[in-house]
A and B are shown apart, each in its own frame.
Chain A
Amino acid sequence: MPSVDINGQPYQYPGNWVHLDANTFVVVPVNFRNWALIEGLKAQVGKPKAKPAKEKSDDGE
């Protein structure tokens, strides 16, 4: 379980679980209504992470 809810607040277990995908969820407070925030997170879940920039070697490659 996450230690804080979607607002970064400590919460009383179990709270409400909003599923972002089959394996990921976030905890939201009672009477949560900021669903645009959830849709934004859903869009981010499953996206491949950006590759870190490759460091240049000493010979300039």
Chain B
Amino acid sequence: MPTTRGNLLAFDYAQFWRVTSAGIATGQLDPDSPGTAPQTSHSFLLEGPMTCELPGATFGQFKFRGGGSYEGSVDGGLEDLTNGTLTLSQCDASLAALIMGTSLDTTTITGGPTIWSVDNMRPSPVQGGLMLTRRIQSQVTASQGIVSYITTIFPLVQMRMTQGNFSQDTSLNTSPVTVSITPQIGSKFPWGEAFSSTQGWYSNQGIEFNIQSDYPWALTAFLQDGTETDVVTAYKPIYTTVTDGRANSVHTVNGVVTAPTSITIATATIVKAAVGTADQWSNHFYQTAFDVV
């Protein structure tokens, strides 16, 4: 079992996915124009050298003073929420297109070149979910020293990319790419299920939350066509238990947790219990070691 307390280390993965206006993940596809079903899309995986300064919350304070003396103070709640910054050593055209909702243009010039932009003129980047995974070494009796994973999820963010500077310096990560993270208040998990009294978060809303688990998580979105029951995930899932649709992985159809019929590790195939309604999304949030079939 993963630890409840420990030392943080090793920022391993960042993942981003787009969401519909109903808070349902669509992977890397445009929720407003996903195309013809069936389609399978996955969270966009970032790995390699990167750092992330998390968005910060600041809180107001009511202070009471009278006659030149301090009488007391009360926390006034969330006052502001600052942007976070993801710093990458890699320039990524697909990420730029994904977070701004633009296209990778390979038709204006054919034969191989790709035209893309960070599209600063766009007034509002697309909304999506952001998941950051790092490791945690237990400092709890009985699991002392065991390393598991802690995943921090921002259910709704917008991100903008700033290209790396041009430089002739020879130094570490000379031209890093920075991605600003504007967090928003969300009310749903990545698989589309709403926050509830089960978590006890204020007003069933949240800016971020964490999952501690034995393995990292990945997300697959499937646009149903009313015929196909099999969904192939990007990576081999770790667990095959399908009980209630939420046993060490979560499976939803149109945001409602629905147990699949089976999960097969070797082929990374989830067989859904029903074909479902055409053009509705099913989401599959699963633990993986990122092994590819």
Contact-residue bracket for chain B:
20 to 34
The interface centre, meaning the residue of B29, B97, B235 with most chain A CB atoms within 10 A of its CB, is B29
B42 near A: Cβ within 8 Å? yes
A2 near B: Cβ within 8 Å? no
Asked if B228 and A8 make an inter-chain contact with CB atoms under 8 angstroms apart, the answer reads: no
Asked if B292 and A32 make an inter-chain contact with CB atoms under 8 angstroms apart, the answer reads: no
Q: Which residues of B contact A11 (CB under 8 A)?
A: 94
A33 and B28 in contact (CB under 8 A), knowing A9-B114, A12-B94, A18-B39? no
A8 and B35 in contact (CB under 8 A), knowing A30-B97, A31-B29, A33-B103? no
Contact with B along A14-50 (1 / 0, CB 8 A): 1111110010010001111101001100100000000
Asked if B28 and A16 make an inter-chain contact with CB atoms under 8 angstroms apart, the answer reads: yes
Q: Which residues of B contact A7 (CB under 8 A)?
A: 104, 106-107
Contacting residue for A31 out of B42, B102, B225, CB 8 A: B102
Contacting residue for B98 out of A13, A25, A31, A42, CB 8 A: A31
The interface centre, meaning the residue of A19, A25, A30, A38 with most chain B CB atoms within 10 A of its CB, is A30
Asked if B45 and A12 make an inter-chain contact with CB atoms under 8 angstroms apart, the answer reads: yes
Q: Which residues of B contact A18 (CB under 8 A)?
A: 35-36, 39
Asked if B33 and A33 make an inter-chain contact with CB atoms under 8 angstroms apart, the answer reads: yes
Asked if B41 and A17 make an inter-chain contact with CB atoms under 8 angstroms apart, the answer reads: yes
Asked if A30 and B40 make an inter-chain contact with CB atoms under 8 angstroms apart, the answer reads: no
Classify the interface of chain B: helix, strand, loop or mixed.
loop
Asked if B98 and A19 make an inter-chain contact with CB atoms under 8 angstroms apart, the answer reads: no
Classify the interface of chain A: helix, strand, loop or mixed.
loop
Q: How far is the CA of A32 from the CA of B235 in the complex (A)?
A: 22
Q: Which residues of A contact B45 (CB under 8 A)?
A: 12, 14
Asked if B42 and A29 make an inter-chain contact with CB atoms under 8 angstroms apart, the answer reads: no
Q: Which residues of B contact A15 (CB under 8 A)?
A: 28, 42
Asked if B106 and A31 make an inter-chain contact with CB atoms under 8 angstroms apart, the answer reads: no
Asked if B234 and A13 make an inter-chain contact with CB atoms under 8 angstroms apart, the answer reads: yes
Contact with A along B107-121 (1 / 0, CB 8 A): 100001010000000
Using CB atoms and an 8 Å cutoff, list the residues of chain A in contact with chain B.
7-9, 11-19, 22, 25, 29-33, 35, 38-39, 42
For the complex of A and B, list the 8 residue pairs with the smallest distance between their C-beta atoms, beginning with the closest: A14-B234, A7-B106, A16-B41, A17-B40, A30-B98, A30-B28, A19-B38, A35-B35
Between A and B, 19 residue pairs with Cβ closer than 8 Å are: A7-B106, A12-B94, A14-B42, A14-B45, A14-B235, A14-B292, A16-B28, A16-B41, A29-B94, A29-B103, A29-B104, A30-B28, A30-B104, A31-B97, A31-B103, A33-B33, A33-B35, A35-B33, A38-B35
